[in-house]
Copies of this chain bind each other. A is one copy, B any other.
Amino acid sequence: MAVNHYAKGYRAERELKQMLLAQGFQVVRSGGSGTDGVSPDLLALKASKKFALECKARSSDYLHIEKPKWELMKSWEETTGLPVIIAWKIDRREWRFFPLLAMKDSGKSYSLNKKEYGNGMEFGEVIKTR
C-alpha cells in the first residue's frame, strides 16, 4: 500500500517532468523532497518563467496539506521569490494547478475539494509567459 502510493507519486512526478521538458523548461527534481520535506518536488526553469511544483496524485476527491507543511512551502516561496504551485491529479482526469493561497483553511490543514478541482488552472495556463 505504502509502496503503491510511492510508485504512483513517482510516476506522476515523472509525467509532469516530461510535460515541462516538452515545453522547453529545464526541470530539477529535488533530491530528498520526500524526506527533508522542505523543497517542493520539481522546479520548472526557463529564462522567462520559473516556478516550483508540489505534485499530488490522488484517487480521492479531496486534497489536504497539513498546516506545518503548507507554512514551510509558503516560507520557501517568500524566500526564493518562486511561486509554489500544487499540481493535483485525480485518477483518469487531467492535472490541475493551484497557488498555495487557493487552498482553504479546514482546521488542521489546507484543503481543496472536487468542485475546486474543476476550477483549477490547466497546464497551459501555468506555463504561459506573460
- Interface of A toward B, CB cutoff 8 Å: 24-33, 38-39, 43, 45-48, 50, 76, 78-82
Contacts and interface: CB of A to CB of B under 8 A. Distances in A.
A30 B28 CA distance: 6
Contacts of A76: 26
Given A28-B31, A45-B79, 12 more contacts: A24-B79, A25-B79, A26-B80, A28-B28, A28-B43, A30-B30, A31-B32, A31-B33, A43-B43, A46-B79, A46-B80, A48-B81
A78 B48 CA distance: 11
Assembly of this chain: how many copies? Answer: 2
Contacts of A47: 78-81
A79 B29 CA distance: 16
A71 to B, nearest CB: 14
A28 B39 contact: yes
Contacts of A80: 26, 45-47, 50
A29 B26 contact: no
